[in-house]
Structure formats: structure tokens, C-alpha cells
Chain A
């Protein structure tokens, strides 16, 4: 059965953070619920809906940016106390807006995740977890990587509290008091956690790469119940809720993503989640809740977006009346809304005009300083696992006018279908010392608040990518964001690697501290926490998203060991690390251990990809010619089956080919690098032989390539 939901916009507040909107529990049995939402201006607004109009209950004064909101109350009573955190302070409000709690957590950083359960308060700053009971310090934990979210298993059927932390390094950490009980590996960096049922040991998680799963937390270990993969490459998960919107008696899962997608997953008879409803809101969805807001007895999905729009997707049908006549008649509510907006707009126009005149006059003054309006940008620069490219998303609270991208490393910008902006590439002069490799301008269509770009980098080439964002504001101003493209930019953290593969080693010995070598590793590799890990030594595992090769990095004070089955990775690492050490004037003792098998192993790993690409290119070349023949003859029956096959699949092949532009060139580049690096470690310079290597690649055959690698 399909689910139909109609969109209703309620009000707009300021820019909101993740999980800052909640529905207060209903008073009567079927009455509508009140909505509490907090924004970056520090204003907590609580409102109800009466006859389609938002009626405010209370509104607090502006203050520091509010990062999280949770509802709480004494055990057994309705959870209707509102808790918000801003900076390192937690404040509590009653449902009437009376502030009853101000609690200074005394953390150096600001709180970014919070959970309230009865008298217990759990807060997390970047790496720190703290538990307070009645505002008294109880437990403390320092996590190895950034904490994104926290939740706590309900206490009634468990003897003690079980907090669960969602950490950036792809694990959920289950704590017991101040100790780590165990951790659970999840397929991506988890961004949000939600209890599946009020009472129970099951937790829903959502990851920044768009996967959802359910884990059952046991005493000593956890079991994954199900996971939903992100095949359609939708955005990362920002919020999850469970609520029975379909009305079949089983709680459904409501999901909000950072590309604006709102989804409802229902459960079929076999208890597998299936997608039942999807809607796209064009801005990232920061909070989602199921309940009843607009009209009693009609359930709805309430969402809050980044720019602060509170939108309901309701089961209530929208257009109730109709009559004869061709013209579409507006309902009374719509008419009054249009009139109200028109009146407001007129007033504002007059006001703005006056303000602008005044501004023009004062700007002539020699002593006055023109202040710049501040606007917030929500940006994300992440590596996509399946196509080995970075996706850069930028979101501004108002519409974007244009976006300039500047890069000092060679990168490719790929097309994104969702993107409606017009792109123009400017000519660059990369020969100059401070030359640009890329200058691109995106001019956005009206009302685009969110833009998504794909950037493809090359391993070994590192530097910065800068984005200059200009929104449609008066006066026009611009903000710059910088993104690092790391030397080993295509590596992604994993939990373990295959130890059987032939490995090349790189060892560093020298007078450096643990913090120093950690900062070098942070410089080289993505997804490494900036904070120096606790303990004497640390091991990180990575895998190359493009080739599937792996890297193990183990280091401690004065010593570092890197193992990889790809010689190029080792070569890049040794180059960058020695450069970094030279900058700090530290003498490094570098030793290598090169395994000859590793080259053929890497080539064997590349082989299927290369073969597939070559075949694809060959097939695509033929499509046009075959199509012409088909048109001439009327049918394709006279062709040999192989060609007929190509014709049948031509649409798929072309699409595939379009999706992977320059894939072949990328592979060629990697093989050439591998070839040069292999001989570099032997002390030979083989750059002159590259042309003959390319010749071999053009008539590709794995054995002849292996031979060439061995003999040259």
C-alpha cells in the first residue's frame, strides 16, 4: 500500500542544528501536540497550530547557538521538560516556558550531543563524554575520535545505565560507567542514534554516508538486526524517529537526510524494512518527528530544515472543495495567507528602501566602518566509497548567488545531476609559482540554497581547495572555505585489513614526539582524528577506495611503521613524511622493505577494472556505427549475436561510460606511477621508458604488462 502525505509549511525560525526540534507529549488523548524548536540565535520557540496558524506558546530571548534539544522529566511522568544546550551550558524549561535549570558543565569545548533520562544528564563535547546525576559529576570518558551523538538505553529493565556513543571512526562505543564495555563496528561514520522503542535494547543508527541499521545492545556484545544500504547515493542521515504513520500497528522508521530527502520505512510481514514514502525538501532535514500537529486525529511527519522551516507531511487531504469552472479556486486560508504576505512585503519594501538610503548616506562618512553581515554555511567534504571521488556540499541559509572554486592541485570537477547551477571554467596558468590548477564559477539558479559538487583528486597531489560563497544578500559579501586535499586522499579508514597480502614496509626512526608524527599522519591521510590519541602507540587501518589496496600505520614516539601492498602508497608517504620532517628540521632515518610480489599483486588487482574499462570503451566505440546499420536495414537480425547484444544494451553502456569519464586515464596514471615508484626504490630512473609502457597498455595484456614490469 502506498502512503500519501501532503506538505504543509508552518513557520520559519533561524538556522537550526541537528536534532533541535521535538514534539511535546499530547495533553488529551487525541489533542494536537505542541512543537519546540531551537535555532542558532539561541531562541527556543514553542508553538501549537490552531486553524492552520502557528500560535506561539513561548519564545525565549536570543543567546548562544543551541546545538541540541532533548525532552525529559521524572521517570513515569510525561516527558515534557525541554532541555537545550548552548556552549557548555545546559538549560531546562517547563512546557510553559519557565526556566527551572541552568547548569554549567564547565567543559572547555561546547556540547554537541546530549541525552536526558530522568535525573541523569549525558553530555558530549568533541571527544569528551560526561555523565551527571542531579547535576553532580558521575562518569567521564575520553573517546578516540569525535563523538557525533549519544543515546542511553532506558533504565527500567536494565540494572544500570548503558550510554552508547556514536563516534566518527565508524564505531558505536557502549560504555559501562567510565569504562568502554565494547564497541560495535558500523558501515560508515555514524551521525545519529535513536532508541528503537522507549523500553528495549535496540538502537537505530544512521551514518553520514546514508546507511541505516538496527543493533541490539547486549550485555557483552551487540547483534546487528538489519542494515539498509545506500544504493541510490542519497545524502547522509541527520535524524531518525520511529512512529506509526502508516497505521498498521507497527512503528515505522522516519528518516531525514542532508540532501532534503524524507523517507518512511515500514515493516512487511517478514519484519524487513521497506521504503513506503519519499519526499524531497531541497534543504537538509535537521530534525524529524512523528505525531499530530496540524489537525487532531490526522498523523503527520514533522520536519525541520537547516534554514529553519518547520514543515509537516500530513495525512490530511489538502484540497477539500471544488466547483464548476476552469479556474482553480484558492481556499480561504490560501487567500488570506497571500494577502497577509503581500501586506508584509509592502511594509518591508518601504522599510528596506529607507534603510538603504540611510546606509548609502552613512557609508560616505570617512570614519564609519561598514560591517559585514554574517551568514552560516553548512559544508561537508566527504569521500564517496564507491566512485573514489569527494563530494562537496555547501548549504547557506539564503539563496546562493555564485560560488567560486579555486584549487592549487590538479582536480576534476564532475557533473552532479541534481545540480542546476551553470558552471564556467576559467583558463588557468599552472606554470606560475602560485598558479591555479582549477578556477570554476558556479552561477546558481534562483532559490538554490544547497549545492553539491563532485571533486576527483589524484593520489599524491596534495594542497587546498577553496570555495568562495556569495549569497543573495544586500550588501553582497563572500565567505571563503578551505578544504585540504590530502596526499593519500583516496584512502578510507577501516577496522581491519587482510594480513595475507604481500606487504611493502616503510620505517621511520628519528627524534620526534608522538604528537609530531600524529600531526604528520593527519596531514597525509583523511579520517584521522586531529587530537593525539591516548596511549603509547596507535595503529590505524586504511583501504584505497579506488584500487582496493590497503595501508596499515603504526607509530609511537620516535618510531613509525607503515605497511601497504601498493608501492605507490609507500612512495607518497615517504616523500611527504620526509618533507614534513625537513620542515621541522628533524633528522629521519628511513628504511624500506619492498616486496617484489606486491607489484604483480597490485597489477592483478587493477586487472579486472582495466579490462572492464577497455571492453566498455571498445563497445561504446561501436554503438554509433551499429545503430546506423540498424536504421538502414530496419532490423538488427543480420548482425552477429555479439553486436546485437551491444545494441540491446547500448543505453546502459553509454550511461556507464558517461559515469566514469577519465576512468581509463586514471588507471593508466596509476600504473605508470606504480612503474616509476617500483624502480625508484631500486634507485633507477625509468621515466624514459614510460612511453613504451603506454604502448603496452594500449594493446593491453596482463602477462605482457607483468613481463614489462619485471624486465625493465
Chain B
């Protein structure tokens, strides 16, 4: 890093870049969440199931995010692990109205956390209990119980209830993530 880079870094002119992996089962709302976080003029109008993965970039107040929006369909899930190495944070999205596949989500989460590239790293994990606007949605506390999040001891984690269509709850989650990313790498 050159002197100029450091200077801009201190002054906060150049934002630090972070790579974030956005994971979760299919139809949990990953692409919609990422879409909501982008600036309004670049937001997509229609969202279709992701094939493979998309790379999206957006900036928050102090960080510049590069998000790997992975497809959640079962045949693409083995793609996830290829991106574990370079990620600084994970966003895990859960459809809180989908009680039936909560166990699948838990299984995927467990394999993720036990992966060799993730296990040793102390990276923040942000959970979005998405689709809370639905009538039969579970609360974020209930979701965290079903996924046994209290067993995660070695990583900072946080769960936020969210409604990705309206954008509710996303900012709170992102704020938490930002706080942790800033303290981690410096």
C-alpha cells in the first residue's frame, strides 16, 4: 500500500473493500436483499432465480462491498465453497415462513461453518430472517433457536428480521456487519 493509499484510507476518502458471501437456500430472498442494498437507480426491477452466481458491488458509509450473490438451488450449492477463501463476511438469508426447510437451512449452515476455510477464520456472520411480512412467519428469536445459532461460539453473529421487498431491517443488519468488519481487519 502506497503512502497516498494510506492517507486516503485514514481520511476516509477511499473506502476499504470487503468481499461478502451471500448464502441461503433457494427462494429465501438473497438477490432481493442485495438488490435493495444497491443505490436506487441501479436496482433491478424484476428478480429471477439466480443461476450460478452474480457479483454485485455497492458502497456503505465506510466500506465498499463486493457481494457474491450465490444461487441457492441445490445443484449450485457446491459452488459456494469455492468462494469461502476470499470472503471477509457471510450473509446467510433464511425464509422465516418456510418452516419445512428450516432443517435443510440448518444442515447447510452446519456444513458451511465446519468447512476448513471457514472454521478457523473469525469472520462475522449476519443472518437475515427474511419475509417477516408474511402471516405465518416465525420471529427472529424462533429462527435462531431452530438453527441453534447459540452454538456458534467462535464467530460473531447477529440475526435480523427483515422484509427485503420493503427494505425493512436490512440497514440495521448492514450496520452491524460494518461495525464488525471495521474492527476485524485493522
List A residues at the B interface (Cβ < 8 Å).
1, 3, 246-247, 297-298, 315, 317-324
Given known contacts A1-B135, A247-B135, A317-B132, A324 and B140 CB-to-CB distance under 8 angstroms: no
Given known contacts A297-B166, A324-B150, A324-B152, A319 and B139 CB-to-CB distance under 8 angstroms: yes
| Number of interchain pairs (Cβ within 8 Å) | 50
In angstroms, Cα B150 to Cα A319, docked, is 17
Chain B nearest CB, measured from A275 CB (Å): 17
Asked if A323 and B158 make an inter-chain contact with CB atoms under 8 angstroms apart, the answer reads: yes
A-facing residues in B148-186 (Cβ within 8 Å) = 149-150, 152-153, 156-161, 166, 169, 172-173, 176
A319-B141, A320-B169, A322-B144 known; 11 new pairs, CB 8 Å cut-off, are A3-B135, A317-B132, A317-B140, A317-B161, A319-B161, A320-B132, A321-B159, A321-B160, A321-B172, A323-B176, A324-B152
The prevalent SS among residues of B at the interface is mixed
Given known contacts A317-B132, A319-B139, A324 and B161 CB-to-CB distance under 8 angstroms: no
Within the complex, which residue of A3, A297, A318 is in contact with B133, where a contact is CB–CB below 8 Å?
A297
Chain B, Cβ-Cβ closest to A2 = B136
Within the complex, which residue of B132, B133, B140, B152 is in contact with A322, where a contact is CB–CB below 8 Å?
B140
Asked if B140 and A321 make an inter-chain contact with CB atoms under 8 angstroms apart, the answer reads: yes
Asked if B149 and A320 make an inter-chain contact with CB atoms under 8 angstroms apart, the answer reads: no
Asked if B172 and A322 make an inter-chain contact with CB atoms under 8 angstroms apart, the answer reads: no
Q: Is B109 an interface residue (CB 8 A)?
A: no
Q: Is B63 an interface residue (CB 8 A)?
A: no
In angstroms, Cα B150 to Cα A320, docked, is 17
Within the complex, which residue of A1, A317, A318 is in contact with B137, where a contact is CB–CB below 8 Å?
A317
Q: Which residues of B contact A298 (CB under 8 A)?
A: 133
Asked if B161 and A320 make an inter-chain contact with CB atoms under 8 angstroms apart, the answer reads: yes
Chain B nearest CB, measured from A696 CB (Å): 64
Asked if A324 and B139 make an inter-chain contact with CB atoms under 8 angstroms apart, the answer reads: no
Asked if A1 and B136 make an inter-chain contact with CB atoms under 8 angstroms apart, the answer reads: yes
Q: List 27 A-B contacts (CB under 8 A).
A: A1-B136, A3-B135, A247-B135, A297-B133, A297-B166, A298-B133, A317-B132, A317-B139, A317-B161, A318-B139, A319-B140, A319-B161, A320-B140, A320-B160, A320-B169, A320-B172, A321-B169, A321-B172, A322-B140, A322-B141, A322-B144, A322-B149, A323-B156, A323-B176, A324-B149, A324-B156, A324-B157
In angstroms, Cα B169 to Cα A317, docked, is 11
Q: Which residues of B contact A1 (CB under 8 A)?
A: 135-136
Chain A nearest CB, measured from B125 CB (Å): 10
Asked if A323 and B135 make an inter-chain contact with CB atoms under 8 angstroms apart, the answer reads: no
Q: Which residues of A contact B173 (CB under 8 A)?
A: 321
Query: Top 6 A-B pairs ranked by shortest CB distance?
Result: A320-B161, A323-B158, A322-B159, A317-B132, A321-B160, A322-B144
Q: Which residues of B contact A247 (CB under 8 A)?
A: 135
In angstroms, Cα B97 to Cα A1, docked, is 14
Chain B nearest CB, measured from A298 CB (Å): 8
In angstroms, Cα B135 to Cα A351, docked, is 47
Asked if B161 and A321 make an inter-chain contact with CB atoms under 8 angstroms apart, the answer reads: yes
